[in-house]
Amino acid sequence: MRMRFSFRDWRVAQIAYPWLVMIFTASAVQAQFADCQPVTPNFSVFLSEPAYTTGTFQDQKQLQQFLERLQFELDQEHDARWVKSPSTDVRFVMCFHRAPRLDGQEFVPSVIETMHTRRVLLEIWGNLEAEDGGKKITARMNYLLVPLKFAANRNERVPPALQRLVYSDPGTASKPDFVELIARPLDIDAFVAAAFGFKLLRERQWDIAHQNLCRAATLLKSIQERSPRGRTGEDIQALRTFVVESAGLAIKNAGVDPKYKKPGLLSLYKPNEPCHGEE
């Protein structure tokens, strides 16, 4: 029997083809996106593979070493509790073979939902560039705040869940080093505190949500004082405004929550000035 294509069949194929390509591409992207195991029952931050320019790493082994060292520098484990720093207690997890694209297109709702359920607060990756034989280095880092992305997927009004910061060493260091360039615990902690505070707000833990959101506001202010430019600066400002509003929401909600013991800590604060000048 001979197949015959009518004009109508041709039109259907013309419309369906781009959709099929998109579906297959998305599936392929997801299929390549390696899973990463968080450290349960702690909250985790994923350190994923960055993209990089030629000359940054010689081979995959060097890339792995970069991630291992980054994890060493950021994950204080035993020692953080002995030093008693105010940082949120999270575990940094090295995610080898997990390489999100710069626009984060792999983070489809199902991926985010899984991460959110497994208490992942943040995923960090980016693009590393070395110039002039490695003398000048630049890192464009991405920080995905998982609870915010989770809320965005549910059409809630949230600021950009994907935040970006650029670090560069213009060749002043004797031996420029990407780990030293990007291992900024306070910057990371700003995003961790924002993500954690927002998650706690949704879980109706008003006091501790307020504490983390106010802390995030303070740390984001420090980032702003370095004057990040362009869209980065606007996104940081939007996030800071959001965490301050969320801290105000914690106060407001605590006031009407019959389960919140009154008068509690949050009765010392007003929703329109939730961190008392520290925001």
Partner 1 sequence: MKPFSLSLEWVQGAFGRLGAITCVATAALLFPLFAFAGVQRPCSQPAVFQGAAINSFVLPYRYVGAKPAEEVQAASRELSALVHFEVLFSLLKYGSVGGTDLVATGREPCDVDSVINDVSHGRSPDTLLPGRALIVTWGRLFEQDEQLYLQSYVRFLRRGEEGAKPETVSVKLQAGESSLDLIAALPTQAVAFPPRRISRGDLARVKAEFRRTMIVRSEPNLDAPGRSIDFGPNRVFPYLITETRDGWMKIQPMAEGPAGWVRARVEAGESREEWSLRRWLPELSYIDAIAGFLKLRTDQAGSPEPAIRVRQWVDSGFARFKAAVPEQDAPVAYGLASAVQGFIAFDVDGASGRSEAVRLFAKARELMSDYAAALNLAAVTQPLGAEGPVDAATVDRLGRRLTGALALDPGDAIVLTNLRNVYSLYAAQPAWSPFAPQELSQRVAVVKGMIEKVSPVR
Q: Which of 82, 103, 157, 229 binds partner 1 (CB under 8 A)?
A: 82
Return the residues of window 117-136 that contact partner 1 according to CB under 8 A: none
Q: Looking at 24-32, 89-97, 237-245, 263-271, which segment touches partner 1 (CB under 8 A)? A: 263-271
CB of 108 to partner 1, least distance (A): 34
Nearer to partner 1, 78 or 154 (CB): 78
Q: Which of 133, 171, 153 is nearest to 55 (CA)?
A: 133
Does 60 sit near partner 1 (CB under 8 A)? Answer: no
Q: Looking at 95-103, 144-152, 196-204, 265-273, which segment touches partner 1 (CB under 8 A)? A: 265-273
What is the helix (H) or strand (E) element at residue 29, kind and residue range? helix 7-32
Q: Looking at 20-28, 47-55, 68-76, 115-123, which segment touches partner 1 (CB under 8 A)? A: 68-76
Does 264 sit near partner 1 (CB under 8 A)? Answer: yes
Instruction: Indicate the angle between helix axes 109-117 and 146-153, nearest 10 degrees.
Output: 130
Q: Looking at 31-39, 89-97, 113-121, 268-276, which segment touches partner 1 (CB under 8 A)? A: 268-276
- Burial class from Cβ neighbours inside 10 Å (0-12, 13-18, 19+) for residue 273 reads middle
Q: Which of 50, 210, 240, 243 binds partner 1 (CB under 8 A)?
A: 210
Dmax of the chain from CA atoms? 83
Nearer to partner 1, 152 or 188 (CB): 188
Report how far residue 225's alpha carbon sits from residue 32's, in angstroms, rounded to the nearest whole number: 39
Place of tokens 């693009």: 127
Does 265 sit near partner 1 (CB under 8 A)? Answer: yes
Please report, for residues 15, 120, 146, the alpha-carbon distance to residue 124 in angstroms, rounded to integers and kept in the order given: 38, 11, 11
Q: Which of 141, 161, 219, 236 binds partner 1 (CB under 8 A)?
A: 219
Report how far residue 78's alpha carbon sits from residue 7's, in angstroms, rounded to the nearest whole number: 70
User: What count of other Cβ atoms lies within 10 Å of the Cβ of residue 161?
Assistant: 23
Residue 99 sits at the vertex; the CA angle it makes with 213 and 131, to the nearest 5 degrees, is: 95
β pairing state of 90-95 and 43-48: parallel
What is the helix (H) or strand (E) element at residue 138, kind and residue range? strand 136-145
Place of tokens 């983070």: 107
Q: Which of 113, 131, 169, 207 binds partner 1 (CB under 8 A)?
A: 207
Does 198 sit near partner 1 (CB under 8 A)? Answer: no
Q: Looking at 28-36, 119-127, 132-140, 258-266, which segment touches partner 1 (CB under 8 A)? A: 258-266
Does 218 sit near partner 1 (CB under 8 A)? Answer: yes
Does 113 sit near partner 1 (CB under 8 A)? Answer: no
Which residues, including other chains, have CB under 8 Å from residue 185's CB and lie 6 or more apart? 74, 87
Does 32 sit near partner 1 (CB under 8 A)? Answer: no
Say how many CA atoms lie within 13 Å of 148 toward its Cβ.
25
Does 256 sit near partner 1 (CB under 8 A)? Answer: no
Residues that bind partner 1 (CB under 8 A): 65, 68-69, 72-73, 76, 78-86, 177, 180, 186, 189, 207, 210-211, 214-215, 218-219, 221-222, 247, 263-265, 267-269, 274-278
